[in-house]
Amino acid sequence: MGLDLHVRDATRADLPAVVDIYNQSIPGGWSTADTAPVSVESREGWFAQFDPARRPLWVAEEDGRIIAWVGLTSFYAGRPAYAATAEVSTYVATAHHRRGVGLFLKRRMIEHCPRLGVTTLVSMHFDHNEATRRMNARLGFEPAGHLPEIAVVGGARRGLLISLLRIPPAEG
């Protein structure tokens, strides 16, 4: 049961699909600090910060439909000392969870990091987000911090886990 995904840089035309996949994760209450669906308009600025050469946003298509995305954003507001550090976010459409799509896409982005000049990836997620915790463990992320009970999601206090992955720089 192999995956046949076409992975490419996202374009502005993909933003509605990217936002839709993001919104699918909100009701579960274990993925994002947003508690209500976001609009495409509200994500224009977020989308504009991506850059295929340094901080890509990729979409994964299956049979011509976007079913997942992975993106890198600059860490700590992009201050210069963090130039080689990026935060990674991975979202898979709910109907396609647990098929290995998230693992495949995140691994592909990790492999690409040397070409982006990224040597440290940061993953931040709620401490009850078991899927991301397991995915990160498979990919070699190391737990680096836990901020207990700093969010309230659906009335429950949730903590934030921070994990790091070190990536050898490109040679030459």
Ligand X SMILES: CC(C)(COP(=O)(O)OP(=O)(O)OC[C@H]1O[C@@H](n2cnc3c(N)ncnc32)[C@H](O)[C@@H]1OP(=O)(O)O)[C@@H](O)C(=O)NCCC(=O)NCCS
Minimum CB separation of residue 114 from ligand X in Å reads 22
- Half-sphere exposure (Cβ direction) of 79: Cα atoms closer than 13 Å: 2
Q: How many CA atoms lie within 13 Å of 120's alpha carbon, on the beta-carbon side?
A: 13
115-134 footprint of ligand X as x/- string (CB under 6 A): ----------x---xxxx-x
Among candidate residues 104, 139, 95, 110, the one with its CA nearest the CA of residue 5: 104
Any contact of residue 163 with ligand X (CB under 6 A)? no
Instruction: Check residue 140 for interaction with ligand X (CB under 6 A).
Output: no
The answer to the question of residue 91 lying near ligand X (CB under 6 A) is yes
Judged by CB under 6 A, the residue of 17, 101, 113, 122 near ligand X is: 101
Binding map of ligand X across residues 34-63, x = CB under 6 A, - = no contact: ------------------------------
Please name the residues in contact with 169: beta carbons below 8 A apart, sequence gap of 6 or more: 84, 114, 117, 119
Residues that bind ligand X (CB under 6 A): 25, 31, 89-92, 97-103, 125, 129-132, 134-135, 138
